Chains A and B, each alone.
Chain A
Amino acid sequence: MANKVEVKDVFKTYKRGKTGFHALNGISLSIKEGEFLAVMGPSGSGKSTLLHLIGALDKPTSGDVLIDGTFLSSLSDDALSQIRREKVGFIFQQFNLLPTLTARENILLPLKIAGKSSRENEKYANEIIEAVGLTNFSDHLPEEMSGGQMQRVGIARALAIRPSIILADEPTGNLDSKTSEEILKLLKDCQEKFKQTIIMVTHDAKAAAYGDRIIRLKDGQVDEEVEVYGANLISNL
């Protein structure tokens, strides 16, 4: 299967006073199309920085990230924001919902921003709302919803643009274990049903266990890699 994402010898250095802090230290990594990759590692190991670079939210100090074979460094800022709008769906720990918009409006927002509010896309959004179990809550404001419901909105919003890549940063960090399980199942369903490539950062071993491959970062590099036995089991059913 083709590589969806490639990270090639990437360094990311932040200035801290006179010295620099290497958040990423020459990391290289390939992620296959349709793969569910879990990224673990202690705080400060570079997990979130890696996710931001893959999502074109930030640029490496050196090295390059490729999405579908395209070098991100070769793209203009406009082309990068197009990638963010069309190819990548983000899911955050803090949900990042707009408090004055209903669940449905939050979900439709990325389509509006991308200028893609069409009847067909609205119909698709309705399907997603149903798929994530939000049918009865679509008119609720974030403050009227539980953490699990808000994260469902977060996932539906990420899915609305039909991204081929989902980037999730501690998506279950604020949820209890039962709700976490439901959210992770939903992510796994996205991989299975929509064939999306998922990269999830987590410090939680139970969440990471949903991945087809688990890597552990340390000091800005891949320190360990756990291939999951029988990862294709489900796809083969």
Chain B
Amino acid sequence: MDAEILWFGWFRADIIQEYGALFWSGLRMTVGVTVVCILQGTLLGLVIGLARLATARNAVANAACRFLLRWPATVYISFFRGTPLFVQILLMHFAVVPLFLNPADGWLISGDLARDLRQDYGALITGIVSLTLNSAAYISEIFRAGIQSIDRGQMEAARSLGLSHARAMYHVVLPQAFRRMLPPLGNNAIALLKDSSLVSAVGLAELAYAARTVAGAYSRYWEPYLTISVMYWLLTLGLAWGVRHLEARYGRGDSR
């Protein structure tokens, strides 16, 4: 008993070794899902953020902007930020996905294909869709704040040269806003990486799932959970480093 408290007895590295392939595939799944969801979430977040800011000169068009763009965007953001991600994942997996992919009467796909998809990729689809939708809500607010933080004079100067609103946004406002958004976007990416572990609850074979499998097989907990903790930690450190690198690169024209 006393000997087992010593490091080598206490920490059975052989378990990690035995399940090395599982940890490795889990790591790739975690990284893959995170990268895909960051990219999709950023695109969707930009769209929702712009929708939240949409206005028009014309009174009728402005009313249309309010009811068809601003309000839906506000409700979307409010829902995804105001409910637990874990609950969103369960809702997605057991209620929403079966609605769209259903052997009997799927809204999107029916028949055998729907059954096979749910069997083989159900958890992956759930994970990617819920993490994308959730992070898009946070990212859209980052975009909105970033755009609104740029001095009005920048848009006016661009418009006074004859640039359309869209071109002024693209060439003048967004590049400056993007620079300011990098730190919060980095924080969001790190949160997304860590939150991806929640999808293990519906059976996606990522890092946390690998750890749970090992823990279940051996009834040992330090080894698997400490191992994935270190892996998550290294990943978040790498992400933070990458964001700092981007900040330096896009910081041209900053006070120096």
Is this pair of chains taken from one and the same complex? no
